[in-house]
Amino acid sequence: MLHSRILLAAAFALLPLAAGAETPGVSHDEITVGSIQDLSGPIAMLGAPVRDGMLMRFEEANASGGVHGRRLRLVVEDAGYDPKRAVLAARKLIQRDRVFAFLSNMGTPVVMASMPMIVEAGRPHLFPFSPHEATYLPLHPLKFQIYAPYQDYMAAATDYMVKTHEYSRTCLLYQDDDYGLEVMKGVEAGLARQGRRLTERTSYKRGATDFSSQIARLRAAGCDLVVLATVVRETVAAMTEARKLGWEVDMLVTASGYSAQTHALGGPAVEGLYGVSVLPHPYAEGATPELAAWVARYRERFGAAPNVWSVMGYTAADLLVQAAQAAGPELTVEGFRVALENLQIRPDIFGGPVYRFSADDHLGNRSGRLAQIRNGRWQLISDYLH
Amino acid sequence: MLTFLQVLTSGIAIGCVYGLVALSFVLIYKATETISFMQGDLLMLGAFTVLALNAGVGLPLWLAIALGLGLMVGLGAGLERSVLRRALGQPHLTAVLLTFGLGLMMRGALTAVPAASHSMHRLGQPADEALRLGGLALAPAHLMVIGATLLVAGALALFFRHTRLGLALRACSEDPRAAALSGVPVAAMHTLAWALGAGLAAFAGLLLAPITFIHLNMGLIALKAFPAAVLGGMSSLSGALAAGVFLGVVEALAGLALPEGAKDMVPYLLLMGALLLFPNGLGSAAGRERAR
């Protein structure tokens, strides 16, 4: 009898301790953050630099004493763009690693499969690489996003291009899947703002090799602006085909074609291509001293030149660090949410957008800016478009 | 009219690549009665091998191509000697699954190389100016593909008609038993067929490189080449090549003339139609006409 009473008393005495250590992934000297990446699948070209960008920001934070004395630890799981593996990875990160939050999970199939489980476990789901509305709508206390759907960027970009260049016949070459259709909706919305409609549209299947018939069709329609809902390879192929025929039409590609690979592979043929940029590519030449130093540090740490994906990973990690800092020494999920919603974010060294969250809007940015390939590199030619 | 010719030339060029890969399917099938599902992966591996020799090791392009093709021929022979030979006498499915697995292994091995999985690559310099014939603009890459395909087809024809080795390979694919009785080393001929098949696929990969660049998914083109091989009758080398070019042209022209979306259906509709009307392939149908 006495024994059980002592045990009970001991149990009660331990309760406050358990409550104090309630926030998973947060100990007195460490914050564990999880990320489900694609390091081996079809978009490993994106996953590796995103991971490196996040790692770099966390290492910098740790080198300057951590966040309120806590070191940041990133646990990366490779799901290879596969929703089944994503679910396993999410479970492992929640149960075994007990991560505080998920950062920059990669790919729409991965995100759609794992997000419900993650928010149900009470973990913040931050800035996934999936331009899908479900990542921030309907408003959910744990879901935050900084990448708008393609539709939003493309509506603004098309509107701006048609207004400033007075194009009268806008056409579209699109990939025949969700991505292409989403861009089409955006382009149509942008044209509607100018009281115009698409003159011609033509599609291709993923993995197509030849664009001669599509370009011939668009040329016959007399387009004066061709919007490309393509990825890097198809962008280069379409533009090369047009230039081969001597058709000097203006082309505008989505953020998926805004990559240094576009001009590296396309060479002179893609000169003059317009693109939508969500975050600028970190070129080493002509960089500000801060950016040049950042590029040099990245190169030294990872043995490769950073690209726009590295910047995205770094930026996402930076937002997490800023919000955790603002949440104060007692880090809880609730405190983190409030801090992120009220965060005053300062402009970064990359020229990226100034993100802004609020209690009723968890999408931090809706605008991209226009860029053009001039002298073999992307140059920004407009401010952020709304 | 000009647009028509323009699209036609692009179609012929892509069709040549389909044809070459189809040729490699048929070559192997005729000699060994195995359908190889690793031709797409061999194509990709061949392109990456030459790229590695050229950009990685720093060999001049011509030497990298020669050495790379040599290595791929060696790989084909080596795979036959070590693995594929053991599938002889087993049910057909064994060999098919074996090639499928080998293809997956090649892909998996390549994804382990960061430079290969993380970006696309170009072989040599960006393409030069297009060649102009009147109003017609011809891409150098397309002309090269067509020229190289003609060259390879000619060389193969000479090989099969006028060399002892070629004749032996043909004899072996017509009737292995009779060939063996007349002193043809059948096992060695199998090795030769796999080696040539791998070399042809790799060659097709090199021709594709300036058009679609070198990346992990470039082997998907085999999905179009396989219908070409079937359309050609699976047993006729010239039929496979012709069917490849035919598919390329039809696909391109369908994109120009038919409503949006039809382009990707047409090759498969044609394949189904041809299989219904000529179950032994267009090649054998043409042969029957001649025999009559």
Note whether residue A13 is domain-resident.
no
pLDDT given for residue B103 in this prediction:
93
How many domains, in total, are found in chain A?
Answer: 2
* Domain co-membership, A119 together with A163: no
Same domain, A143 and A65: yes
Nearest to B261 among A203, A216, A268 (CB): A203
B272 burial (CB, 10 Å; 0-12 / 13-18 / 19+) is: exposed
Which of left, alpha, beta for A35 (phi over 0: left; psi -120 to 50: alpha)?
A: beta
Best CA proximity match to B281, nearest among B243, B249, B233, B247 = B233
A305 and A166 together in one domain: no
Distance CA B191, CA B80 (A): 6
Domain range for A166 is 150-277+370-380
pLDDT in tens, chain A (386 residues): 446 555 555 544 444 444 445 799 999 999 999 999 998 777 878 898 999 999 999 999 999 999 999 999 999 999 988 999 999 999 999 999 999 999 999 998 899 999 999 999 999 999 999 988 899 999 999 999 999 999 999 999 999 999 999 999 999 999 988 889 999 999 999 999 999 999 999 999 877 888 989 999 999 999 999 999 998 889 999 999 999 888 999 999 999 899 998 998 898 999 999 999 999 999 998 899 999 999 999 999 988 889 999 999 999 999 999 999 999 999 999 999 999 999 999 899 999 999 999 999 999 999 899 999 999 999 999 999 87
Nearest residue on chain A to B112, alpha-carbon basis: A40
| Torsional class of B233: left (φ above 0), alpha (ψ -120 to 50), beta (otherwise) | left
Cα separation, A353 vs A146, whole angstroms? 10
Does B153 touch chain A if contact means CB atoms closer than 8 Å?
Answer: no
Residue A251, strand partner residues: A226
3-state secondary structure of A223: coil
Say yes or no: A213 and A135 in one domain.
no
Exposure b/e, A214-249, CB count within 10 A at least 16 = b: bbbbbbeeebebbbbbbbbbbbbbbbbbbbbbebeb
Report which residue type is found at A173: L
In a shared domain, residues A172 and A29: no
Domain B2-108+140-286 has CATH 1.10.3470: yes
Low-confidence ranges of chain B (pLDDT < 70): 114, 117-118, 125-128, 281-292
Angstrom distance (rounded) from CA A360 to CA A140: 9
Long-range contacts, B269-272 (Cβ 8 Å, 24+)? B270/B231, B271/B227, B271/B230, B271/B231
Residues of B in contact with A53 (CB under 8 A): none
Residues A136 and A249 in one domain: no
Q: Is residue A166 part of a domain?
A: yes
User: The tokens 């004395």 sit on which residue?
Assistant: A69
- Is residue A74 located within the same domain as residue A197? no
Note whether B213 contacts A212, CB cutoff 8 Å: no
Q: Chain B residues with CB inside 8 Å of A210's CB?
A: 10-11, 13-14, 211, 248, 251-252
d(CA A346, CA A330): 23
CATH number at residue A349: 3.40.50.2300
Rounded distance between C-alpha atoms, residue A373 and residue A377, angstroms: 5
CA distance to partner chain A, nearest, from residue B186 (Å): 38
Chain B residue with minimum CA distance to A212 = B7
Give the separation between CA A221 and CA A290, rounded to whole angstroms.
48
Domain ranges of chain B: 2-108+140-286
Alpha carbon distance A202, A219 (integer Å): 11
Residue A14 lies in a domain: no
Kindly provide the ipTM of the predicted complex, given to two decimals: 0.80
Residue A363 lies in a domain: no
Task: Examine the domain organization and report whether A161 and A186 are in the same domain.
Answer: yes
Chain A interface test: which of B220, B260, B265 (most A C-beta within 10 Å): B260
Contact present, B98 and B35 (Cβ < 8 Å)? no
